[in-house]
Structure 1
Amino acid sequence: MKINSSEIKNLNPINTIAISHIGAYAGIAGAFEKLAAWAGANNLWAASPRMAGVYNDDPMQTPAEKLRSDACLENISGIEPGEGMKHYTISGGKYFVMQVEVTMSEYGEAWKKADEAFLEKGYENDMRDHYELYLGCAGDTQDADAPWIVEICIPVK
């Protein structure tokens, strides 16, 4: 895992199409796969929409089988969601943003580092969306171990 930067940013809301997932956060991959396939079938990739993962519960306080999350695709084209999908707006406002390069196995460590940095700076957590914004792959997207460039976004009160 590599930390590229951490800073406070004012982020705009992001209108998305989302698929909800309930269960361990690692299980959200299936929702992302379904969303990506749907985007491909609807020719949405040409517009370069961003993808994000929204995590609604604290895994230290909520049992894994009850964790709620959403796999999101930026809705640039204004298309209606497919079956089992919904419109979802990721909240905007003041956020602590840590940009990292992580492999699939390092997401938990990256969130831990972001939370530690957030607390060390004395920021107060807000109840808006906690999310990962996926900026791109730093390697071959077909390589399961290629690092992804991700912004971990934690709302600041």
Structure 2
Amino acid sequence: MNAMNVQVIQLAPIHVVLIRHRGPYDELGGEFDRLWEWVTAQRVSALRTIGIYWDNPDFVPASKLRSAACVEVPAGFQIGNSGGLPLEVDDIAGGEYATTRFVGPYEDLAPVWSDLTRYVEGTLRRKISDNPAFEVYVNDASDTPPEQLITELYMPLR
């Protein structure tokens, strides 16, 4: 925990195309697969792959967890052909975020989020805002060993 390297940064809004998901967070992977099939088929210039998480699984039942699979797109991007997917264009809110980087398998992220939450509330003495937290997936799980996956975690502050 004391080895956690957390920075507080100011972010501009991030323009994304997303597919919403309700249910256990570990089931979001299927939405990423559908989203990336669409990105590839439509030749969308996706900048980053992002997962948005609205709820704390410590307090919200798994069946009610809200999340979204996203790709960052250039400003002004419009969905042409959605390929029948429930796609939305939206912005991740700008503002102050506490961020840290994790290297390892996605299955090991839950305790990192718990540590980040404790760090923000305890060490930084900050409140977490109502904006959703999100993860940026720096490398590609399809061609990267799990122990080398890099995930950036972003916790919204108020």
Shorter-chain TM band: 0.7 to 0.9
Q: Residue type matched to 1:64 in 2?
A: A
Asked whether the equivalents of residues 4 and 100 of structure 1 are also in contact (C-alpha less than 8 Å), the reply is no
Q: CA deviation at 1:153?
A: 0.7
Give me the whole-angstrom Cα distance separating, in 2, the residues matched to 1:24 and 1:18.
17
Task: Tell me the distance in 2 between the aligned counterparts of 1:100 and 1:4.
Answer: 9
Number of equivalenced pairs: 151
- The within-5 A match list for 1:43-122 is 43-44=43-44, 47=45, 49-76=47-74, 78-80=77-79, 82=82, 83-121=85-123, 122=125
**Cα-to-partner distance string for 1:10-45 (whole Å, 9 max, x where unaligned):** 01111100000000011100011111111111122x
Deviation of the 1:143 alpha carbon: 4.6
Residue in structure 2 matched with residue 18 of structure 1 by the alignment: 18
Counterpart residue identity of residue 93, structure 1: G
Q: In structure 2, do the counterparts of structure 1 residues 75 and 19 end up closer, same or farther at CA, with 3 Å as the change threshold?
A: same
User: Is contact 2:50-2:70 (8 Å) kept?
Assistant: yes
The 1:136/1:144 distance shift into structure 2, 3 A limit, reads closer
Q: 1:151 to 1:145 in 2, by over 3 A?
A: closer
Measure the CA separation in 1 of the matches of 2:4 and 2:71: 24
After TM superposition, what 4+ stretches of structure 1 lie above 6 angstroms from structure 2? none
The residue number in structure 1 matching 2:40 is 40
Q: Cα distance, 1:144 vs. partner?
A: 5.3
Length-normalised TM-score, structure 2: 0.86
SS in 2 for 1:61: coil
Cα shift at 1:5:
3.2
Give TM-score scaled by structure 1 length.
Answer: 0.86
Task: Give the aligned partner of residue 149 of structure 2.
Answer: 148
Taking structure 1 as reference, are residues 22 and 144 closer, same or farther at Cα in structure 2, changes over 3 Å only? farther
Aligned residues with identical type, % of pairs: 24
Cα RMSD over matched residues? 2.0
**d(CA) in 1 for partners of 2:136 and 2:92?**
10
Displacement, 1:146?
Answer: 4.1
Contact 2:19–2:88 (CA<8 Å) still a contact in 1?
Answer: yes
For 1:126 and 1:94, locate their aligned partners in 2 and report how far apart those are by CA, in whole Å: 9
Where does structure 1 lack aligned partners over 5 or more consecutive residues?
none
1:102–1:149 CA contact under 8 A, matched in 2: yes
**1:5 touches 1:100 (CA, 8 Å); kept in 2?**
no
Distance in 1 between residues matched to 2:31 and 2:4, nearest whole Å: 28
